[in-house]
């Protein structure tokens, strides 16, 4: 008889209780004991919900105080030396210092979790001797069993994935590091086995990427060691986000179960099953319900797929599960009262996905219940069809326009060298111009004003006047600090994607659809459910007003088409490429509107371009081609003197410098500080001939960076980049920072620019 399972559940709570508890603790409003008690309550509520829904195998130890990769590093005592760890159980203060930084110690690097919008803390190995500080999977298993009677399924990041996603060691040291970590994993698993645990989920998503023969050898060593060391423990070797590479070698590993993604890895995994079959002595964890998307699954399609899977796997050896952790979707649709009913009926968030899993498991396990669940199946199919046939998904005007631009090869009128000469003459900026990425602190006062306006307690006129006051204040502050290119501050914007989605056709917005992006940072992605279309100017009023208050240039600030798409939940009935072109066509009209009112610098941010990069190398070139095309469609119609900026952050860009160049932005700013300047190595190996600003300080940490830190970063960059094209800026927007630290940091940044100008002038002489 088949069983149901999930790979993980959202941490944050339906009302973001988790986020609020963390931030109250960081602000000193919650004692450490109170934080532990609050998070324990949240954690148990999540387990209880899955238990009541009828999930058979409930994951434990996937709940985190910040991030699961950080948890794994801390469990093994992998603490960077700068945090003065002295051994034993890692204090909560050090745990959060690693993630957030301190006045004297920079935070560990943060980067994206595969191709999702979740960001993890990168473990730093650097010669550390690992040891077990605390067996957290065991504690989580005990808690679930003692408090709720749940026979939990502990979740652990696998050794190969952990190593491949860590930093601070040479490639030649990989095997030595595996030899250090493997005994620690064995001890963790042995203690679980001794406690009576039946299943353990070991996550190895690295197996869907291009691993080599050496990694296969390491993988064999890892799981053969586990098989000998914990023979009575059933290990589910779990993969997700794509189809596994080296399928035949992986399914031969000595583990009880193999978890495969039959949503995002459907084509490849199904092809492997058809070609090579599935071992009769193993359990298949079939990821049938999308852990990353928000749409209800078609029961008929899923049951058809299950029929196919049963050709290779007996029902007793089948676990119906989510394709990945439900960490990536909101908690529940239940509290959404403002969505169009036709749309709401087609949605499934985490709690609804639990119901879908239970329904499918019943269908495959008890054919006699077909009549009992037939009504549920019919209702779902009807909801999906109603949305498919809706007017919102069938706008002929948008579809004709996008079909026309799909055949175009967008490009600026002149090459960069000619544009740069004209722009230099127009703007007369100093060497190493200073600017920011766009947003300034969204204080409690700013958020309250927006809330009063949204509730209708403030009129549009009063709210607009308030926003102008904020712009006035920060234009003056920027001038006093000495920035060369200013921004209006984005005080009218809640979120860089939501703001634009609210002003475009084809979008819908939830009230409680929050998901974790990193740490306590939660975002509420818009839903692109229909054809996207421009309605009216979105940013012109505030940008034009800011420009009227200063003689220095003010950048117009837009979010680019790929980022809006990648940071939204998107429809599944058309290719993502077509969604990107619809967005590009709409945003192009906004770019042209800004130019018409005299805004001569326009920034189209694309921080999420790489987040959409397919995990399979063979699919990456095609994605980058249409992603670059979408950006150029947005920006290609402006005059040569209009300077197009863009921004990217918190991803590994080393392997897509060519695509960044192809975007043909006059200036691009890229994060470098948190990765400690590693991106600069890319420019030591390849020439970049367009304008570029490498972020010189980390805005995700509350510490104020020293001038010396920034000048060192600038000096290194100038060894490989053309000083005539180099800009100086922070890593990212400043909306989450405090006012005092923002001003102090920017003052230091401007001072670093001045010092660097003087040093370079002396060297040039």
**Would you list which residues are annotated within the binding site for L-homocysteine?**
437-439, 490, 605
Distance of CA 449 to the CA centre of its chain: 29
Quote the longest CA-to-CA distance of the chain. Answer: 88
Using DSSP bridges, classify how beta strands 199-203 and 234-238 pair: parallel, antiparallel or unpaired.
Answer: parallel
Please compute, for residue 419, the number of CA atoms within 13 A of its CA located in the half-sphere on the CB side: 25
Structure tokens at 356: 């879908």
Given a contact cutoff of 8 angstroms between Cβ atoms, the answer to whether 447 and 393 are in contact is no
Residues 560 and 587 sit within 8 Å (Cβ to Cβ)? yes
Q: Which of 503, 725, 764, 534 is nearest to 634 (CA)?
A: 534
Give the residue numbers of the binding site for 5-methyltetrahydropteroyltri-L-glutamate: 16-19, 112, 521-522, 567, 611
> Which residues, other chains included, contact 664 with Cβ-Cβ below 8 Å and sequence gap of 6+?
411, 412, 416, 632, 635, 644, 690
CA distance 192 to 229: 12
Distance CA 510, CA 349 (A): 11
Please indicate whether residue 46 is annotated as part of the active site: no
Cite the annotated binding site for Zn(2+) by residue number. 647, 649, 671, 732
**Tokens coding 285:** 């964890």
Quote the DSSP letter at residue 226. Answer: H
Strands (E), 97-222: 110-112, 119-121, 153-157, 199-203
CB 743 within 8 A of CB 477: yes
CA distance 348 to 359: 13
Which residues are 111's β-sheet partners? Answer: 120
Terminal CA-to-CA distance of the chain, rounded, Å?
A: 80
Q: What share of the chain is helix, strand, coil (3-state, %, to 5)?
A: 50, 15, 40
Exposed/middle/buried for 703, CB within 10 Å: 0-12, 13-18, 19+? Answer: middle
242, 199 Cβ separation under 8 angstroms: no
Helix (H) / strand (E) element for 515: namely strand 515-518
Specify the 3-state DSSP secondary structure of 629.
helix
How remote is the C-alpha of 590 from its chain's centroid?
A: 26
CA dihedral over 372, 376, 382, 385, signed as positive or negative: negative
Tokens 């992998």 belong to residue:
78
Which positions are catalytic?
700
């Amino acid at each position: 008889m088949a069983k149901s399972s999930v790979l993980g559940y959202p941490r944050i709570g339906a009302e973001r209780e988790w986020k609020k508890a963390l931030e109250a603790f960081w602000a000193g409003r919650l004692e450490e004991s109170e934080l532990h008690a609050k998070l324990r309550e949240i954690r148990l509520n999540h387990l209880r919900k899955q238990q009541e829904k009828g999930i058979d195998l409930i994951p434990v130890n996937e709940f985190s105080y910040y991030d699961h990769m950080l948890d794994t590093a801390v469990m093994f005592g992998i603490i960077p030396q700068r945090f003065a760890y002295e051994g034993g159980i890692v204090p909560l203060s050090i745990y959060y210092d690693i993630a957030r930084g301190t006045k004297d110690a920079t935070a560990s690097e943060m980067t994206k979790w595969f191709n999702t919008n979740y960001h993890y803390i990168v473990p730093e190995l650097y010669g550390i001797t690992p040891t077990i500080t605390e067996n957290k999977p065991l504690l989580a298993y005990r808690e679930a069993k003692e408090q709720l009677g749940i026979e939990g399924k502990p979740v652990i990041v696998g050794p190969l994935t952990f190593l491949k996603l860590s930093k601070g060691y040479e490639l030649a040291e990989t095997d030595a590091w595996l030899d250090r970590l493997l005994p620690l994993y064995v001890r963790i698993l042995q203690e679980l086995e001794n406690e009576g645990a039946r299943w353990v989920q070991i996550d190895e998503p690295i197996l869907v990427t291009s691993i080599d023969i050496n990694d296969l050898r390491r993988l064999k060593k890892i799981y053969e060691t586990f098989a000998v060391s914990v023979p009575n423990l059933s290990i589910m070797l779990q993969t997700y986000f794509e189809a596994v590479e080296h399928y035949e070698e992986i399914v031969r590993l000595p583990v009880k179960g193999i978890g495969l993604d039959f949503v995002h890895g459907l084509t490849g995994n199904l092809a492997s099953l058809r070609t090579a079959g599935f071992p009769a002595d193993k359990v298949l964890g079939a990821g049938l319900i999308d852990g990353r998307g928000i749409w209800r699954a078609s029961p008929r399609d899923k049951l058809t797929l299950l029929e196919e899977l049963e050709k290779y796997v007996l029902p007793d050896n089948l676990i119906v599960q989510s394709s990945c952790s439900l960490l990536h979707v909101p908690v529940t649709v239940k509290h959404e009262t403002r969505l169009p009913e036709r749309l709401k009926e087609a949605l499934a968030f985490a709690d609804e996905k639990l119901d879908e899993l239970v329904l499918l498991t019943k269908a495959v396990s008890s054919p006699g219940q077909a009549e009992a669940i037939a009504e549920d199946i019919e209702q779902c199919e009807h909801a999906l069809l109603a949305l498919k046939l809706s007017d919102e998904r069938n706008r002929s005007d948008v579809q004709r326009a996008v079909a026309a631009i799909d055949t175009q090869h967008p490009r600026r009128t002149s090459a960069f060298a000619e544009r740069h000469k004209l722009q230099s003459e127009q703007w007369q900026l100093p060497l190493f111009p200073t600017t920011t990425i766009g947003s300034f602190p969204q204080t409690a006062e700013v958020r309250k004003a927006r809330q009063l306006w949204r509730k209708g307690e403030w009129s549009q006129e009063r709210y607009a006047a308030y926003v102008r006051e904020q712009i006035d204040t920060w234009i003056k502050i920027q001038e006093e600090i000495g920035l060369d290119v200013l921004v209006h501050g984005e005080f009218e914007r809640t979120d860089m994607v939501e703001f634009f989605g609210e002003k475009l056709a084809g979008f819908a917005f939830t009230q409680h659809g929050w998901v974790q992006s990193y740490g306590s940072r939660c975002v509420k992605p818009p839903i692109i459910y229909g054809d996207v279309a421009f309605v009216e100017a979105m940013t012109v009023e505030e940008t034009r007003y800011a420009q009227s208050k200063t003689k220095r240039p003010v950048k117009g600030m837009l979010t680019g088409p790929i980022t809006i798409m990648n940071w939204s939940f998107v429809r599944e009935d058309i290719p993502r490429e077509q969604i990107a072109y619809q967005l590009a066509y709409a945003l192009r009209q906004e770019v042209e509107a800004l130019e018409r009112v005299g805004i001569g610098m326009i920034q189209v941010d694309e921080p999420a371009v790489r987040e959409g990069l397919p995990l399979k190398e063979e699919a990456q070139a095609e994605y980058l081609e249409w992603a670059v095309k979408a950006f150029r469609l947005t920006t290609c119609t402006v005059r040569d003197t209009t300077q197009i900026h863009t921004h990217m952050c918190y991803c590994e860009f080393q392997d897509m410098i060519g695509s960044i160049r192809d975007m043909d932005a006059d200036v691009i700013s890229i994060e470098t500080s948190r990765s400690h300047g590693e991106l600069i190595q890319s420019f030591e190996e390849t020439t970049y001939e367009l304008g570029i600003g490498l972020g010189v300080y980390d805005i995700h940490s509350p510490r104020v960076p020293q001038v010396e830190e920034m000048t060192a970063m600038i000096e290194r960059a100038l060894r490989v980049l053309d000083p005539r094209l180099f800009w100086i800026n922070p890593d990212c927007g400043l909306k989450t920072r405090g006012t005092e630290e923002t001003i102090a940091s920017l003052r230091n940044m401007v001072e670093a620019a001045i010092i660097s100008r003087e040093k370079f002038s002396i060297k040039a002489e």
